[in-house]
Structure 1
């Protein structure tokens, strides 16, 4: 098996383990064993657990951004496109709750998000949509709006993950409308 194939196998196994039981119980020793590697051989692919988590964060972000891009319709308004992105994320919270919790709340997520040398496609796509939206709402502060919508999606996602609520697309649409109502 090539270096790349082994790395891909490690990533796939780690993602599977995270979805099944969260990242807190992820053991590098067990992960290495699950893909037929010694712990020493594992470290040839990832320097440490943080490096693995950084890679997984970027991979999940890329997958979600790609999922959203496939669903975005170019002729839709920026507001509708932002709703589509929110739907992708909140549906993922419903279907892959541990993966979503890992993406947003793993120990290195914030450092990965703030690393200017690391691509974070989901963040980039969200910011692009907000920039596009600001053309329709000139008084919109993109940074403030990002915090508001991102906080809503994450908070609502956690409620969905914990089965405190059932995902309701209309609630998301109403919340976006309410947030934008305060902009004009």
Structure 2
């Protein structure tokens, strides 16, 4: 956390912050601390200090460091905006739905928070694969299954398709994962052309997958 943010937090403590604002301060501090120290090395004391609160204040929002870690993953890895990606108006088209879906996926893949949490997941999956697997099975997998149902609902309404296979729903997301890795490894303008090419190919794949022609 930067000194500017710490000063802002200290100043904000003189006013009465809402619970959501305090919770976001804790999540921001946790992302910083986990990224530096890893899950095992991070401490509640340091996270609370970075968030500008007491240890007791931390436990008013999260029951444990484990609960905080899961909440951090949920906040960043489960974008709520995707829920609306396939809700078209009466004038909506397949192309506009695909473009909306891809704009969310690829826009999110460039955010610093998203890239940071992906790096953290990769590291923690090596250190403690059970913790990451548990989060995947209990939280992320149901989220992906919900995305599949949203796509299927769209298809029933706007196309003659009736269902997507698990392999097809994976295909709907996997190119964006590749783009994210390019951004993580190369970054900046060097990765921009590669990611643009991946997104264009992804769009073509999605249109072919969902088209009734």
Tell me whether 1:42 sits opposite 2:58 in the alignment: yes
Q: 1:131 to 1:67 in 2, by over 3 A?
A: closer
| Inter-partner Cα distance in structure 1 for 2:67 and 2:154 | 33
Unaligned runs of at least 5 residues, structure 1: none
Task: Give the number of the structure with larger relative contact order, counting CA–CA contacts within 8 Å between residues 6 or more apart.
Answer: 1
Deviations 1:104-148 (A, max 9, x none): 7665565345337x984x763564034413662526534221112
Q: 1:23 to 1:154 in 2, by over 3 A?
A: farther
Normalising by structure 1, we get a TM-score of 0.66
Q: Which residue of 2 aligns with 1:27?
A: 42
Deviations 1:19-49 (A, max 9, x none): 9x57837823321111234445534432333
**Partner-residue secondary structure (3-state), 1:6:** helix
- The partner residue of 1:128 within 150, 159, 163 is 150
| Inter-partner Cα distance in structure 1 for 2:95 and 2:165 | 13
Normalising by structure 2, we get a TM-score of 0.59
- The partner residue of 2:207 within 173, 177, 181 is 177
- State how 1:1-184 maps to structure 2 within 5 Å: 1=16, 4=19, 5-15=21-31, 17=32, 21=35, 24=38, 27-28=42-43, 29-39=45-55, 41-61=57-77, 64-66=79-81, 69=84, 73-74=88-89, 75-78=91-94, 80-96=96-112, 97-99=114-116, 101=118, 111-115=134-138, 120=143, 124-125=146-147, 127-133=149-155, 136=159, 138=161, 140-163=163-186, 165-166=191-192, 167-168=195-196, 169-180=199-210
Higher helix share: 2
Q: How many residues align?
A: 178
CA RMSD of aligned residues (A): 4.2
**Native 8 Å contact 1:94 1:160 kept in 2:** yes
| Inter-partner Cα distance in structure 2 for 1:9 and 1:119 | 27
CA drift of 1:72 comes to 6.5
Work out which of the two has the higher radius of gyration on C-alpha atoms and give 1 or 2.
2
**Native 8 Å contact 2:152 2:162 kept in 1:** no
Unaligned runs of at least 5 residues, structure 2: 1-15, 126-130
